Amino acid sequence: MPSPIRNTALKVHRSIERPLSIKKVHSRLQSSTTHNIIGSGLEKERQELRTAKPEIVSASPLARLSTSSILRTLLLSTFFTRPILFRCGFAVFEKIAKSPSPWLNPDRNPLLRAAIYPLIYKQFCAGRNQTEIGQTSAEIRGLGFSGIVLCYGKEVQVQADKLVGYSYSSPLNTMDAEISQWADGNIRTLDMVGEGDWLGIKFTGAGTKITQALMNGEDAPAKFVEAMDRICEHAASKGCRIWIDAEQQVLQAAIDAWTFDLMRRHNAQRKQALVYNTIQAYLKSAREKVQHQLELSRREGWRLGIKLVRGAYIANDKRERIHNTKADTDASYNTIVEDLLRGRFPAQVGQGAKEIDLILAGHNTASIRKAARLASELAAQSRLKVRPDFGQLQGMADDIGCELLQVADDVQAREPSASTQAFVPKVYKCLTWGSIQECMQYLTRRLVENRGASERMKVGAAEFRKELLRRMGTGF
């Protein structure tokens, strides 16, 4: 007689087998999604996923995940890859996320909490307090990840060039008070991570007035500079690194300028960057930005740290500044990575190896595999100029994340001596923490993003299903 777990697994299995009706992606989602494959290119994406062959590794990469995590991922992928199910579930979730009613607050309503916490919150968030965050972090490190990137999740939303909302209702109305509260939150976040971990920072989290200053292209206010110095010094004393998120274009010139100023003061004389700036490869200007930042850091004598992403704001940003097609964005991302790793940017000429730091944030299987493969080939020939780290969001792309971990284990088993040049990938998981209510906006974006990445999820789910069936066959 089949066990209940087997029954659940088979139901999930069957539902994932059914074909996805892509045409039914509704217009509402098209307008709100920030991460979907906008426009054509779907067939190309499928092709890329099919041809980006996995690394040959010594053990099933997913064998390291817990059975509960595999089941949760499979259940959620059923939800994300079935348009009707997603539409209904998402409408309810969005209503709860936007409602000010205490009845619809999942921290107060035990029924909502029982549904949202184990299935959605646990999949994507770090925890509600220090104990939960400590447990999540230990589990992630236990799987082989090099550490976590913890984010404190307040943010302002901007549409075109207008402020449209703040993710928490703040009674604070002075800029100094907003900045102090935000800085304290970031220091608390740093207190919850350990050596080798990261703090993820969004400047707009510092409040509506800071966001306005960014939009106006002003210099960073003294109180903000003081707060960031305090955060940087605290991170350095703990052996942590900081990345500054890239946001909409109307803010980004000032975000870059304020971050260069931080890098000038905190990245000089370092063997590893403390502060990383983010570059969005979907921008037509992405290559020039890389070249400019390489030149600036070299001229001024500080260490450059880059987080490379594709870019999250395509649906609500200046479209003309963004590559016309997904294929162009993919090419931009992949060629920037290749040229950095090979040291081909003009500003890298004459530069030694390991003089800049790079983290590749993203879930695109083909890009990640290409980057890891190239890094290991170049390292074997002592020609690798930049050693990339990898960053993924908690609850996403575990198939490719675990594949990199397995590659790392295999390299270390083959070449245990630390003196070898071998490239051992380091992978970090990025998480947001807070009460369920505080994380509802973040979770809403994760749901939209996962729905947008449903093609990739179908491929990933097949691997999860295989792993589950393998465990059922071996009695777990």
Ligand X SMILES: Cc1cc2nc3c(=O)[nH]c(=O)nc-3n(C[C@H](O)[C@H](O)[C@H](O)COP(=O)(O)OP(=O)(O)OC[C@H]3O[C@@H](n4cnc5c(N)ncnc54)[C@H](O)[C@@H]3O)c2cc1C
Answer for which of 182, 224, 302, 313 binds ligand X (CB under 6 A) is 313
Question: What mask, x for binding ligand X by CB under 6 A, covers residues 340 to 359?
Answer: --------------------
Rounded to an integer, what distance in angstroms lies between the CA atom of residue 109 and that of residue 102?
8
User: Is 81 one of the binding residues for ligand X (CB under 6 A)?
Assistant: no
Phi, psi of 127 (to 5 degrees): 150, 170
Tokens of 66: 């817990």
Closest distance of CB 410 from ligand X, Å:
24
Rounded to an integer, what distance in angstroms lies between the CA atom of residue 189 and that of residue 433?
8
Closest distance of CB 27 from ligand X, Å:
16
Stretch that binds ligand X, among 32-40, 111-119, 138-146, 159-167 (CB under 6 A): 32-40
- Measuring CA to CA, which residue among 408, 364, 396 is closest to residue 73? 396
Closest distance of CB 52 from ligand X, Å:
11
State the distance between the two ends of the chain, measured CA to CA, in whole angstroms.
17
Stretch that binds ligand X, among 2-10, 179-187, 323-331, 414-422 (CB under 6 A): 323-331
Rounded to an integer, what distance in angstroms lies between the CA atom of residue 35 and that of residue 334?
18
Stretch that binds ligand X, among 112-120, 360-368, 373-381, 432-440 (CB under 6 A): 360-368
Rounded to an integer, what distance in angstroms lies between the CA atom of residue 178 and that of residue 313?
25
Answer for which of 223, 326, 385, 458 binds ligand X (CB under 6 A) is 326
Cβ contact 399:60 at 8 Å: no
Q: Pairing state of beta strands 198-201 and 241-244? A: parallel
Question: What mask, x for binding ligand X by CB under 6 A, covers residues 220 to 259?
Answer: -------------------------xx-------------
- For 15, other C-beta atoms within 10 Å of its C-beta total 17
Stretch that binds ligand X, among 104-112, 132-140, 188-196, 325-333 (CB under 6 A): 325-333
The count of residues in the chain is 476
Between 228 and 309, whose beta carbon lies closer to ligand X?
309
Strand partners, 150: 199, 431
Answer for which of 9, 12, 16, 35 binds ligand X (CB under 6 A) is 35
Answer for which of 167, 267, 293, 364 binds ligand X (CB under 6 A) is 364
Separate counts of helices (H) and strands (E) for the chain: 18, 10
User: Is 387 one of the binding residues for ligand X (CB under 6 A)?
Assistant: no
User: Is 309 one of the binding residues for ligand X (CB under 6 A)?
Assistant: yes
Answer for which of 282, 423, 442, 464 binds ligand X (CB under 6 A) is 282
Phi, psi of 377 (to 5 degrees): -65, -45
Answer for which of 82, 154, 303, 310 binds ligand X (CB under 6 A) is 310
Contacts of 422 (CB under 8 A, 6+ apart): 376, 379, 380, 411, 414, 415
Stretch that binds ligand X, among 64-72, 95-103, 222-230, 361-369 (CB under 6 A): 361-369
Between 8 and 41, whose beta carbon lies closer to ligand X?
41
Expressed in percent and rounded to 5, the helix, strand and coil fractions of the chain are 60, 10, 30
Residue labelled with tokens 């090099």: 146
Answer for which of 73, 280, 376, 454 binds ligand X (CB under 6 A) is 280
Q: Which residues bind ligand X (CB under 6 A)?
A: 35, 37-39, 245-246, 278, 280, 282, 309-314, 322-323, 325-326, 329, 361-364, 391-393, 430, 453
